[in-house]
Amino acid sequence: MRLPLDWLGVAPFLIFALLFLILPTMNIVIGAFQNPAGEFTLKNVQGLFTPSIMAAYWISIRISLASAILGCIVGFAMAAAVVLGGLPNWVRSPLLTFSGVASNFAGVPLAFAFIATLGPIGLVTVFLRTQLGIDLRSLGFNLLSFWGLTLTYLFFQIPLMILIITPALDGLKREWREAASILGATGRQYWTMIALPILFPSLLGTLALLFANAFGAVATAIALTGSSLSIVPILLFAQIRGDVLGDPHLGYALAFGMIVVTGIANTIYIWLRARSERWLK
Amino acid sequence: MRKFWAWAAVIFGMLYFILPLLGMTEFSLKMRRGVYSFDAYAKVLADPRFQETFAYSVGMAIATIIFGVVLIVPTAYWVRLRLPGLRPYIEFITLLPLVIPAIVIVFGYIRLYNTSSFLPLTGSATGTNILLMFGYATLALPYMYRAVDTGLRTIDVGTLTEAAQSLGAGWITILARIILPNVLVAVMSGAFLTFAIVIGEFTLAALLNRPAFGPYMQLLGANRAYEPAALAVIAFAITWGCMALIQVVSRFAPRAPAQLH
Q: For residue A40, give the 3-state DSSP assignment.
A: strand
Instruction: Supply the pLDDT for residue A281.
Output: 54
Instruction: Supply the pLDDT for residue A241.
Output: 86
Q: With contact defined as beta carbons under 8 Å apart, do B246 and B235 qualify?
A: no
- Are the beta carbons of A113 and B232 separated by less than 8 Å? yes
Q: Residues B180-185: contacts with CB within 8 Å, 24+ apart?
A: B180/B69, B180/B73, B182/B151, B182/B155, B183/B73, B183/B148, B183/B151, B183/B152, B183/B155, B185/B151, B185/B249, B185/B250, B185/B252, B185/B253, B185/B254
Ramachandran area for residue A48 (φ above 0: left; ψ -120 to 50: alpha; else beta):
alpha
Q: Which of B213, B199, B224, B197 lies closest to B28, judged by CA?
A: B224
pLDDT digits (tens, 9 = 90+) for A41-87: 888 888 888 888 899 999 999 999 999 999 999 999 999 888 887 78
Q: Is B197 on the interface with A (CB under 8 A)?
A: yes
Instruction: Supply the pLDDT for residue B260.
Output: 47
Nearest chain B alpha carbon to A260: B100
Q: Is B67 on the interface with A (CB under 8 A)?
A: no
Q: Report the gap between the CA of A78 and the closest CA in chain B (Å).
A: 5
**Neighboring chain B residues of A101 at a CB cutoff of 8 Å:** 236, 239-240, 243
Instruction: Supply the pLDDT for residue B70.
Output: 93
Beta carbons within 8 Å of A113's beta carbon, 6+ residues apart: A155, B20, B21, B23, B24, B229, B232, B236
Interface probe, candidates B54, B197, B202, chain A, greatest A C-beta count within 10 A = B202
Cα–Cα distance for residue pair A250/A230, rounded to 1 Å? 16
Q: Is B244 exposed, middle or buried (0-12, 13-18, 19+ CB in 10 A)?
A: middle
Q: Report the gap between the CA of A187 and the closest CA in chain B (Å).
A: 11
Q: How far is CA A73 from CA A64, A114, A160, in A?
A: 14, 21, 12
Cα–Cα distance for residue pair A110/B236, rounded to 1 Å? 9
Instruction: Supply the pLDDT for residue B128.
Output: 92
Q: Give A120's DSSP letter.
A: T
- Tell me the CA end-to-end span of chain A in Å, nearest whole number: 40
- Are the beta carbons of A122 and B27 separated by less than 8 Å? yes
Phi, psi for residue A35 in degrees, rounded to 5: -95, 170
Q: Which of A58, A59, A57, A64 lies closest to A214, judged by CA?
A: A64
Region A261-279: what's the mean pLDDT? 78
Q: Is B237 on the interface with A (CB under 8 A)?
A: no
- Are the beta carbons of A118 and B23 separated by less than 8 Å? yes
pLDDT digits (tens, 9 = 90+) for A202-258: 888 888 889 988 998 888 888 888 777 888 999 899 888 887 777 778 889 999 999
Query: What whole-number percentage of chain A has pLDDT above 90?
Result: 23
What does pLDDT average to in each consecutive run of 10 residues of chain B (261 residues)? 83 89 88 82 88 93 94 92 88 87 92 83 87 94 90 88 89 88 88 90 92 91 85 89 86 58 45
Q: Is A237 on the interface with B (CB under 8 A)?
A: yes
**Neighboring chain B residues of A105 at a CB cutoff of 8 Å:** 235-236, 239
Q: With contact defined as beta carbons under 8 Å apart, do A115 and A224 qualify?
A: yes
Instruction: Supply the pLDDT for residue A2.
Output: 54
Region A10-35: what's the mean pLDDT? 91
Q: With contact defined as beta carbons under 8 Å apart, do B202 and A223 qualify?
A: yes
